[in-house]
């Protein structure tokens, strides 16, 4: 696992946007196959998306041959609700880039048969060629997508029940009322994320510090599902100084030294 540490979330977001754009451009230069990208919601990726929007506008990257799959969606929340992940993604990314509408995939939390919806999603990912890169965030409880503590590290896309902790954290988007946060969601599984050829996880701010330290230094465990990244051959965490604050001093120095050596 590689850990990229930047001074603040702004610098981490710029690094990530440019990294994703480089990956898209690099694939486009060698093949006409689409770039398959996993995307996340939440406060964390917003600045990364803003920079990608700027880059698309400036002609530095194009999403015309990108196929995206979002990691999760609430169950039972109308698509047009401002806090649905459909609304979020259009507001912060899709309405401002050139990705064709038919290339955008977001789980339908209002599907009549939720299990069938999840199964079809996994099949569509495989049909698209599998993920080239999955961009994710990390929950304060160490979740990746909505894979809450004790989710199987072998899990695939399915219906999940949100923990009270997560509903409280997300209540800020629902008038501060945890009971207004849907109790269930559809989420890709840990194994779905890890099936990507590359995984990039963002973590900004001191609220993520404990989860990030567990993910990096703790055992690989279903207690902190993002720790499964330890078993991935090509996993990168992009964080700021606040989020990396709980790891051992020697771990911090090691990551800084690796980056300095690679940039030398």
Tell whether residue 12 is a contact of ligand PGA (CB under 6 A).
no
Distance of CA 156 to the CA centre of its chain: 15
Strands of 104-105's sheet in order across: 2-6, 235-240, 199-203, 133-136, 35-39, 66-70, 104-105
Binning the chain into helix, strand and coil, the percentages to the nearest 5 are 45, 20, 40
Q: Is 10 a residue of the active site?
A: no
User: CB neighbours of 211 closer than 8 A, spacing ≥ 6?
Assistant: 138, 139, 140, 141, 142, 203, 224, 226
Is 141 in the active site?
A: yes
The yes-or-no answer on residue 148 being catalytic is yes
Q: Which of residues 132-161 bind ligand PGA (CB under 6 A)?
A: 137-139, 143
Binding mask 18-57 for ligand PGA (x = CB under 6 A): ------------------------xxx-------------
Active site residue 72: yes
Q: Which of 47, 73, 148, 240 is catalytic?
A: 148
Task: Return the number of the residue (72 or 128) whose C-beta is nearest ligand PGA.
Answer: 72
Least distance to ligand PGA, CB of residue 136, Å: 7
Residues in contact with ligand PGA, shown as a per-residue x/- string from 82 to 121 under the rule CB under 6 A: ----------------------------------------
Minimum distance, C-beta of residue 233 to ligand PGA, in the bound complex (Å) = 23
| Plot region of 175 (φ>0 → left; ψ -120 to 50 → alpha; else → beta) | left
**Structure tokens that stand for 93 in this block:** 């990314």
Cα separation, 188 vs 191, whole angstroms? 8
- Give the count of beta carbons closer than 10 Å to the beta carbon of residue 122: 18
Position with the least CB separation from ligand PGA: 42
Q: What are the catalytic residues?
A: 72, 141, 143, 148
For ligand PGA, the binding residues (CB under 6 A) are 42-44, 137-139, 143
């Amino acid at each position: 696992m590689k850990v990229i540490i930047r001074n603040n979330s702004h610098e981490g977001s710029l690094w990530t946007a440019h990294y994703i754009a480089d990956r898209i451009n690099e694939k486009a230069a060698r093949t006409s196959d689409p770039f398959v990208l996993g995307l996340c919601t939440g406060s964390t990726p917003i600045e990364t998306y803003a920079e990608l929007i700027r880059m698309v506008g400036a002609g530095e990257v194009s999403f015309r041959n990108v196929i995206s799959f979002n990691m999760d969606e609430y169950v039972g929340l109308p698509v047009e609700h401002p806090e649905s992940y459909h609304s979020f993604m259009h507001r912060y990314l899709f309405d401002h880039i050139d990705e064709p509408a038919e290339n955008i995939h977001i789980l339908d939390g209002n599907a009549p048969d939720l299990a069938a919806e999840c199964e079809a999603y996994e099949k569509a990912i495989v049909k698209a060629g599998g993920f080239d890169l999955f961009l994710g965030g990390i929950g304060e409880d160490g979740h990746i997508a909505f894979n809450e503590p004790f989710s199987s590290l072998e899990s695939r896309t399915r219906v999940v029940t949100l923990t009270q902790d997560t509903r409280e954290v997300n209540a800020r988007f629902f008038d501060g009322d945890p009971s207004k946060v849907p109790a269930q969601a559809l989420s890709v599984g840990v194994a779905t994320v890890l099936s990507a050829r590359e995984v990039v996880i963002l973590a900004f701010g001191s609220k993520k510090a404990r989860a990030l330290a567990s993910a990096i230094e703790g055992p690989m465990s279903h207690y902190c599902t993002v720790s499964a990244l330890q078993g991935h051959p090509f996993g990168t965490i992009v964080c700021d100084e606040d989020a990396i604050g709980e790891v051992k001093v020697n771990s911090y120095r090691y990551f800084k030294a690796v980056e300095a050596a690679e940039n030398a």
